[in-house]
A and B are shown apart, each in its own frame.
Chain A
Amino acid sequence: MPKRQDIETILVIGSGPIVIGQAAEFDYAGTQACLSLKEEGYRVILINSNPATIMTDTEIADKVYIEPLTLDFVSRIIRKERPDALLPTLGGQTGLNMAIELHESGILDELGIEILGTKLHAIHQAEDRDLFRTLMNEMGEPVPESDIIHNLEEAHAFVAKIGYPVIVRPAFTMGGTGGGICHTDKELEEIVTGGLKYSPVTQCLLEKSIAGFKEIEYEVMRDSADNAIVVCNMENVDAVGIHTGDSIVAAPCQTLSDRENQMLRNVSLRIIRELKIEGGCNVQLALDPHSFNYYIIEVNPRVSRSSALASKATGYPIAKLAAKIAVGLTLDEMMNPVTGTTYACFEPTLDYIVTKIPRWPFDKFESAKRNLGTQMKATGEVMAMGRTFEESILKAVRSLETGQFGLSLKNGSEMTDEWIEKRIRRAGDERLFFIGEAFRRGVSVETVNDWSQIDVFFLRKLQKIVQFEQVLQANPFDFATLRKAKRMGFADITVAKLWNSDERTIYDWRKERGLIPVYKKVDTCAGEYESDTPYFYGTYEDENESVKSAKKSVVVLGSGPIRIGQGVEFDYATVHSVWAIQEAGYEAIIVNNNPETVSTDFSISDKLYFEPLTIEDVMHIIDLEQPEGVIVQFGGQTAINLAAGLEARGVKILGTSLEDIDRAENRNKFESALRDIGIPQPLGKTAVSVPEAVVIANEIGYPVLVRPSYVLGGRAMEIVYLEEELLHYMEHAVEASPDHPILVDRYLTGTEIEVDAICDGENVLIPGIMEHIERAGVHSGDSIAVYPPQNLSESQMSTIVDYTTRLAKGLGIIGLLNIQYVISEGQVYVIEVNPRSSRTVPFLSKITNIPMANIATKAILGQSITEQGYGTGLAIAPAGVYVKVPVFSFAKLRRVDITLGPEMKSTGEVMGKDTTLEKALYKGLVAAGMEIKEYGSVLMTVADKDKEEMVGIAQRFTNIGYHILATEGTARVLKEAGIPVKLVDKIGSEGPTLLDVIQKGEAQVVINTLTKGKQPERDGFRIRRDSVENGIPCFTSLDTADAMLRVIESMTFQTEEMSKQEVRV
């Protein structure tokens, strides 16, 4: 069927900020969809609040709105733009929910706007638990039996009907509180009794437990002519019970016979047809490992994380084709973009094995519960391809960048057997490695299967890997053994350890003997048809299909999996760098391992190598491609960390030299560089023992910022105010020794400033300066950034421009750099210089229209900034105020303290822009998901150090009509200041405590600041967690509270009584 001619303008809704469960995959899907619709000649209007994305680049759609994804703002844009149609299925759950809200508000009907692709009715049927269950029953498709119970008798009756095990889910509790799996009457009584108590409506859902079933996914597509296909099927290595986003996944399915496969394929296609999906859809099924019994777990009537994975795993671009289906095209009239010669109505067939491993944030959040269940916790994922399962999973392991190259744990040999069993029985982020350790100790596959429910197929493969370690060890420098090891995916580092050698020696030894990988094409068709798609993975076989072209090339290293501190912003810069390289006349080659991103879309670069970002894997590509050099400054710390190793092997690092990178990153060298350039930094020294740290702290004066020198990115960084806190930190958080020095710096309270700049060696272009709302001490990624600065004097601005220019030149930067300053008592100090792209590059690029990554790349390739037509110095700021507001995923991470501090905790960001700071802040906060209420109560419980400052804030809350609730100490100070306050009891008191206030929703805002270091203070922790779990905004920095207050103040009218006139006699 030809495409629709009756529509012209299409509105696409993006997915908003990156949060756990909704990440970069929607930038990939949205970008593809917008470009795909433009390609068909439609006018595309895009709304997304996330500035860190390629999709919000102005080239991707005809009009791009970076505005909050709320009914209010989206409706305004709709009224302004009057689109003919709306495409909601490419913006994740956010996009879907927005479409439903718009529909329910009546605006779509009012303006005659059609919903393209999957219809709302189908979305409801798939998403609503009851409607879905009814539909499945009508279709005769099994869903796990369930019932709602109100007492123990009903629970027993349900179990009598369906048997154990059952899952208990208490109604209306957050995050599955009080639920669990029961195998016995005793457990049932215990959990149900507790669950009923937890549930405010004394009600639990009981569901037949299918934990232990195989979890299988089908990515299906259907068009308006009812053609339906399966793009890919996937088998979760972890059995049902762990969220698929937190499971290790293999594609295609490994342990299903064709009959099982066809049975589930037929079911998936029946469902997509019944729902009349037009576009992509994900069907999750549970299959009994001992029979043909299966259950439908869930259906997602939209593109998803799984569809992004399926697209990258097969090469088949689901989102791109889903967008075309939405405008009426059918699968059998569209070409398969990979082969270019066959049609899209086709099911890809693989000749390799794909493994996905999630990347969890537990390295950052050490206090978080690491066990995995039905609530997703991963922030990102890696994917790897190989010709054997072993090769595929080992490549994925080393792509994670957790320091692991094989199936082993740090200190694994010292752990008790009981501990290992426990960590395998109870799934957590490190289970794969505990399984490796179990096999090393001779635990049988059957036993591990019993503990983990993981299919023996996968366990045997893991066991084979561990067993081969011994073979390697027994045969040092034996070619045949090494060949076998490499074909199983062993890294040189692992081999080196077993052979008492080093990575470099192994690399050279096997290269001399011709043992190097070849690159195979990902072509959707297992080689059946010719394909020009430049999408490759490496493996140890005979024929290499990746041919070096005659053109000069440049390799760009990507940033790997999305994690806290290294998000989609780095992929944004990577993609722009690739485009700039192409514009400069080179072939752009990208190496990356993240299946969610735009950079791993094969149509972005001239060549895509889907490979781990390790020295070994990158060197193989460089050996083959012989590029002019490698660009490392856009791939975040991942790529920067590879620079030294690459240069040592003779690779040219383009842009800022390795020596200069080191000068910015190495503490001592940086200090001496600053002295040479003449730029002040906060006082600080290095301590190698506890007494020394105490002496230094006394010397420079509290508060001090302490951190170990050997970790990057704010880990284990803390601000301490007292000697006892310092001692506590030194004892508990770190171990000081000459090998592990501790940095003790003066903590300067003041305004934090962030600057991104580009340097070509001579000229420095500063697109913009940003001022943080939160004072120094809060990680820059967790601060609200304001552009242009609102509170800087002219001389401070020029000092910053001067320092930035001198730093860029003095440090020998070629390309991008990011600097953080603090202004304390009028004086500008430099805190940190990052010789690379930063989190704020997309934000600034979008605001200023200065394509920073592009200019930097061309500067790296030898074109000066002025030759490119740009000026130097600070660019002139465009009109308006722009704020970048961080977004957190705390609700998904149990036991994580939400206090803002030197360690970054946010997962994403949104942008707010308007004519005034207050308006921009309003948009930013709303877009970040905060509900701003014009009246209500604020609960305050602040540390002594903040009490003085708090009085002013409390007064302003009172002025706009808020009631103040406070705990004893805080209340006393407020009363003394003459502010009306209601006293709330502390936790553990008899009467209603502050936790009751939070749980009952009696406070609309919570302000809680930290008393001491992060270890003790359980009460504060509970206050903050309870706020998160009850969805109440909780401010741990008075600056953020102040910003929100300013917004409310600007929204409300003051109500003050008339002042009484004194009567003159």
Chain B
Amino acid sequence: MMKKRMLILEDGTIFEGIAFGSDTASIGETVFTTGMTGYQETISNPSGCGQIIVMTYPLIGNYGINRDDYESIELTASGIVVRELSDEPSNFRSGMTLCELLTLKGIPGIQEIDTRKLTRVLREKGPLKGMLTAVNEEVDSQEKIAQLQSYILPTDLVARVSTKKPYPSPGRGERVVLIDYGMKHGILRELNKRDCDVIVVPYTTSTKEILALFPDGIVLSSGPGNPEDVEGAVETIKELVGKAPIFGIGLGHQLFALACGARTLKLKNGHYGGNYPVKDLTSGRTELTVQCHGYAVDEASIEGTGLEVTHKALNDGIVEGVRSTVYDAFSVQFHPEGSPGPEDSNHLFDRFTDLMKTSNREENINA
């Protein structure tokens, strides 16, 4: 009944626990997230593609899985690690259990392990490659560790999660082209709430095709992995800058910065959770944000790019937002759409729609 499963890390640490979800074995980058609610959104966020996600809050699954709170239709995480899985959820919207969902979507989970110890290992060493595998006599853990160490994490994550075809999400307001690098539903939801007429396009869509949609503004979505791995994105964005107001989020922010000539770097400890204070350097106010990134824009590379830093993480000073001093374009590393997590910076979507309106007016005047 209770199947045993283990999580092996590339540094040789092994955790033995109880299996849940799918029975498949998997390998992924192991990261921890500190949100106490929002597991459904977190595991369905395409930014987590290929990751084994450790939940630091010990009880997961309490309120079940509902039909509304997905951030993508397909789940692409490589595994879920929890202290205790709640298999009898209690919430009026709950339609199934977390375990049922993971089984359905082919994602393995492990529970009953010391997730705080695991978190401390990851804090100490940074994200590690990990493997979820069944416990049985044939398993030679040394062999598995060696296998893990030589394993190269995939670099085609965006290609895996981006839409294959463009599709509309109509509204009566501004036309927004949303480039999907691994978009969360939350971004689309916020634009629709503002009555934007959104067309979501694959990340491979050419500048020409995008401009042919006559956008009032362009949103660069969030997504998984290293921005340098996203083929063609930087070139396209370079061409788009100045053609219409741009708003980048998460990976979209990093790609925008790269397109402007800045560099990105991999963080030792990424930011995954819903309690990151970010200082808005313009207003002086600090807001709590939800973040999900292992890479960041290198502040030292900003000079001379025509960008200026607008947001910084209060705790470690990491660049959390930039804007172009030349064009109507800005981007943030965090998720102003929340879901899950605080919605303090939701007003950035208003800033974007306002920008589209004023930008349009200027164009009209110029014309």
Q: Which residues of B contact A226 (CB under 8 A)?
A: 285
A258 and B90 in contact, given A253-B37, A346-B275, A351-B115 (Cβ under 8 angstroms): no
Say whether B91 contacts A343, CB under 8 Å: no
Q: Which residues of A contact B41 (CB under 8 A)?
A: 258
Instruction: Find the A residue at minimum CB distance from B344.
Output: A269
Q: Which residues of B contact A265 (CB under 8 A)?
A: 342
A543 CA to B341 CA, complexed, in Å: 29
A255 and B62 in contact, given A351-B57, A541-B116 (Cβ under 8 angstroms): yes
Instruction: Find the B residue at minimum CB distance from A458.
Output: B90
> In this assembly, does B63 line the interface, its C-beta being within 8 Å of a C-beta of chain A?
yes
Say whether A542 contacts B284, CB under 8 Å: no
For chain A, residues 264 to 299, give those with C-beta under 8 angstroms from any C-beta of chain B. Answer: 265-266, 269, 289-291
> In this assembly, does B150 line the interface, its C-beta being within 8 Å of a C-beta of chain A?
no
Q: How many residues of B contact A (CB 8 A)?
A: 53
> In this assembly, does B114 line the interface, its C-beta being within 8 Å of a C-beta of chain A?
yes
Say whether B58 contacts A527, CB under 8 Å: no
A353 and B58 in contact, given A258-B341, A345-B277, A528-B273 (Cβ under 8 angstroms): yes
A225 and B285 in contact, given A345-B277, A527-B56, A527-B116 (Cβ under 8 angstroms): yes
Q: Which of A261, A342, A349, A528 contacts B123 (CB 8 A)?
A: A528
A332 and B286 in contact, given A255-B63, A257-B40, A528-B119 (Cβ under 8 angstroms): yes
> In this assembly, does A457 line the interface, its C-beta being within 8 Å of a C-beta of chain B?
yes
> In this assembly, does B99 line the interface, its C-beta being within 8 Å of a C-beta of chain A?
no
A262 and B343 in contact, given A349-B35, A350-B36, A526-B34 (Cβ under 8 angstroms): yes
A541 and B117 in contact, given A258-B38, A350-B36, A351-B57 (Cβ under 8 angstroms): yes
1/0 per residue, CB under 8 A from B, across A242-266: the answer is: 0000000000111111110110011
1/0 per residue, CB under 8 A from A, across B177-220: the answer is: 00000000000000000000000000000000000000000000
The CB with the most chain B CB atoms within 10 A, among A225, A259, A348, A352, is that of A259
A201 CA to B240 CA, complexed, in Å: 74
Say whether B91 contacts A345, CB under 8 Å: no
Say whether B56 contacts A351, CB under 8 Å: yes
A349 and B40 in contact, given A255-B62, A257-B66 (Cβ under 8 angstroms): no
> In this assembly, does A460 line the interface, its C-beta being within 8 Å of a C-beta of chain B?
yes
> In this assembly, does B101 line the interface, its C-beta being within 8 Å of a C-beta of chain A?
no
> In this assembly, does B338 line the interface, its C-beta being within 8 Å of a C-beta of chain A?
yes
Give the Cβ gap from B267 to chain A, nearest Cβ, in Å.
13
Q: Which residues of A contact B120 (CB under 8 A)?
A: 527, 543
Say whether A455 contacts B116, CB under 8 Å: no
Say whether A456 contacts B90, CB under 8 Å: yes
A226 CA to B344 CA, complexed, in Å: 12
A388 CA to B63 CA, complexed, in Å: 15
Q: Which residues of B contact A258 (CB under 8 A)?
A: 35, 37-38, 40-41, 69, 339-341
For chain B, residues 51 to 88, give those with C-beta under 8 angstroms from any C-beta of chain A. Answer: 56-59, 62-63, 66, 68-69, 83-84, 86, 88
A252 CA to B66 CA, complexed, in Å: 21
Q: Which of B86, B89, B116, B277 contacts A343 (CB 8 A)?
A: B277
> In this assembly, does B241 line the interface, its C-beta being within 8 Å of a C-beta of chain A?
no
Instruction: Find the A residue at minimum CB distance from B92.
Output: A290
For chain A, residues 338 to 389, give those with C-beta under 8 angstroms from any C-beta of chain B. Answer: 341-343, 345-353, 387-389
Instruction: Find the B residue at minimum CB distance from A342.
Output: B315
For the A-B complex with A261-B38, A349-B275 known, give 17 more contacts whose Cβ atoms are closer than 8 Å: A254-B59, A254-B62, A257-B63, A258-B40, A262-B342, A265-B342, A343-B314, A346-B314, A349-B35, A351-B115, A387-B84, A387-B116, A388-B59, A388-B84, A526-B56, A527-B116, A528-B273
Q: List 17 A-B contacts (CB under 8 A).
A: A227-B286, A256-B63, A257-B63, A258-B69, A258-B340, A261-B38, A262-B341, A289-B92, A291-B92, A341-B315, A345-B288, A347-B288, A353-B58, A389-B59, A528-B34, A528-B123, A529-B123
Chain B residues with CB under 8 Å of chain A are 32, 34-38, 40-41, 56-59, 62-63, 66, 68-69, 83-84, 86, 88-93, 113-117, 119-120, 123, 269, 273-275, 277, 279, 284-286, 288, 314-315, 338-344
Chain A residues with CB under 8 Å of chain B are 225-227, 229, 252-259, 261-262, 265-266, 269, 289-291, 331-332, 341-343, 345-353, 387-389, 455-457, 460, 520, 525-530, 541-543
Identify the 7 closest CB pairs spanning chains A and B, nearest first. A258-B38, A457-B90, A543-B117, A258-B340, A526-B56, A332-B286, A542-B114
